[in-house]
A and B are shown apart, each in its own frame.
Chain A
Amino acid sequence: MANDILLEIRGLHACVEDKEILKGVDLTIRKGEIHAVMGPNGAGKSTLSAVLAGKPQFTVTSGSITFMGQDLLAMSPEQRAWAGIFLSFQYPVEIPGVTITNFMKTAVNAHRQGKGLEPLKAGDFLKLMREKMAFVQMKPEFAKREVNVGFSGGEKKRNEIFQMAMLDPTLAILDETDSGLDVDALRIVANGVNALHTPEKSAIVITHYQRLLDYIVPDVVHVLKDGKIVKTAGRELVADIEEKGYDIY
Chain B
Amino acid sequence: MNELNQLTVSCGQTLQKVFVLGPDKKAAGQIPSSITLERDSRLDVVLVILPGAECDIPLSVRLAGEGCEANVSGLYVCDSSQKVKIAVDMFHVVPHCNSRQLFKGMAAGNSRVDFYGKIVVAKDAQKTEAYQENHNLLLSDFAKVDTKPQLEIYADDVKCSHGATVGRLNEEEQFYMRSRGISLEDAKVLQMISFVSPVLEHVHDVELREKIASEVEDSLRTLAV
Can you list, as one digit per residue, whether each of B182-208 has a CB less than 8 Å from chain A (1) or not (0)? 111010001101110110000000000
Contact with B along A87-98 (1 / 0, CB 8 A): 101001111111
Contact yes or no, B175 A102, CB < 8 A: no
A111 close to chain B: CB less than 8 A: yes
In the complex, which residue of chain B has the Cβ closest to the Cβ of A102? B190
Complex interface: chain A residues within 8 A of B180 (CB): 81, 86, 103-104, 107, 110, 163, 167
Q: Do A167 and B175 touch across chains, with their CB atoms under 8 A apart?
A: no
If A93-B173, A95-B173 touch, whether A53 touches B184 (CB-CB below 8 Å) is no
B186–A98 CB distance below 8 A: no
A: contact size bracket: 20 to 34
Total number of residue pairs linking A and B with CB closer than 8 Å = 75
Across the interface, which residues of B come within 8 angstroms of A103, CB to CB?
177, 180, 182, 190
Contact of B176 among A82, A93, A106, A167 (CB under 8 A): A93
Complex CA gap A56/B174 in Å reads 10
Is there an interface contact between A107 and B175, defined as CB atoms closer than 8 Å? no
Q: Mark B152-179, 1 if CB is under 8 A from A, else 0.
A: 0000000000000000000111011111
**B182 & A78 in contact (Cβ 8 Å cutoff):** yes
How long is the Cα–Cα vector from A55 to B197 in the complex, in angstroms?
28
- Taking CB atoms and an 8 Å cut-off, the chain B residues in 62-116 that contact chain A are none
Tell whether, in the assembled complex, residue A106 and residue B194 are in contact, meaning their CB atoms are under 8 Å apart: no
How many whole Å from B167's CB to the nearest CB in chain A? 12
Whether A106 touches B175, Cβ cut-off 8 Å, given contacts A78-B181, A97-B197, is no
Partner of A98, one of B178, B184, B194: B194
- Decide if A95 touches B177 in the complex (CB within 8 Å): yes
Closest residue of chain B to A111 (Cβ to Cβ) is: B181
The yes or no answer to A114 lying at the interface (CB within 8 A) is yes
Contact A110 B183 (CB under 8 A): yes
Taking the closest CB of chain A, its distance from the CB of B202, in whole angstroms, is 15
A113 to chain B, nearest CB (A): 9
Task: Provide the bound-state CA to CA distance between A96 and B186, in Å.
Answer: 16
B1 CB to closest chain A CB (Å) equals: 36
Residue of A54, A82, A102, A107 with most chain B CB atoms under a 10 A cut-off: A107
A152 within 8 A of B: no
In Å, the complex CA distance between A103 and B197 comes to 15
B181 close to A107 (CB less than 8 A): yes
Query: Which of A80, A82, A86, A95 is the most central at the interface, judged by chain B CB atoms within 10 Å of its CB?
Result: A95
Q: Closest A residue to B171 by CB, please name it.
A: A56
Given the complex, which residues of A lie within 8 Å of B194, measured CB to CB?
95-98
- In whole angstroms, what is the CA distance A98 to B177 when docked? 11
Report the separation of the CA atoms of residues A103 and B194 in the bound assembly, to the nearest whole angstrom: 11
Which of chain B's residues have a CB closer than 8 A to the CB of A94?
Answer: 173
Encode A64-85 as 1/0 by CB contact (under 8 A) with B: 0000000000001110111000
B173–A78 touching, CB < 8 Å: no
Identify which of B171, B173, B181, B190 contacts A82 (C-beta below 8 A).
Answer: B181
Instruction: Assess the B179–A106 pair: CB atoms within 8 A.
Output: no
Alpha-carbon separation in the docked complex, A106 to B174 (Å): 13
Q: In the complex, A57 Cα to B175 Cα: how many Å?
A: 10
Contacts of B178 in A (CB 8 A): 54, 76-78, 81
- Tell me if B186 and A92 are in contact (CB < 8 A): no
- A106 contact from B171, B173, B186, B197, Cβ within 8 A: B186
Contact assessment for A76 and B181 in the assembled complex, using a CB-CB cutoff below 8 Å: no
Of all chain B residues, which has the CB nearest A147? B176
Inter-chain contacts of A102 with B (CB < 8 A)? 190
Given contacts A95-B173, A96-B194, A97-B194, contact A53 B183 (CB under 8 A): no
Interface string of B119-157 (1 = CB under 8 A from A): 000000000000000000000000000000000000000
**Contact partners of B181 in chain A: CB under 8 A:** 78, 81-82, 107, 110-111, 114, 167
B182, A106: Cβ atoms closer than 8 Å: yes
* Residue contact B195 to A107, C-beta cutoff 8 Å: no
A sample of 19 cross-chain residue pairs with beta-carbon separation below 8 angstroms, ordered by A number, consists of A53-B175, A56-B175, A76-B178, A78-B178, A78-B183, A78-B184, A87-B179, A93-B172, A94-B173, A95-B177, A97-B195, A98-B191, A98-B194, A103-B177, A106-B190, A107-B180, A107-B181, A163-B180, A167-B181
Instruction: Contacts A98-B191, A110-B183 known; list 8 others, CB within 8 Å.
Output: A55-B175, A77-B175, A80-B179, A81-B178, A81-B180, A104-B180, A106-B182, A163-B180
Counting from the closest, the 4 A-B pairs by CB-CB distance are: A97-B194, A81-B181, A77-B178, A93-B176
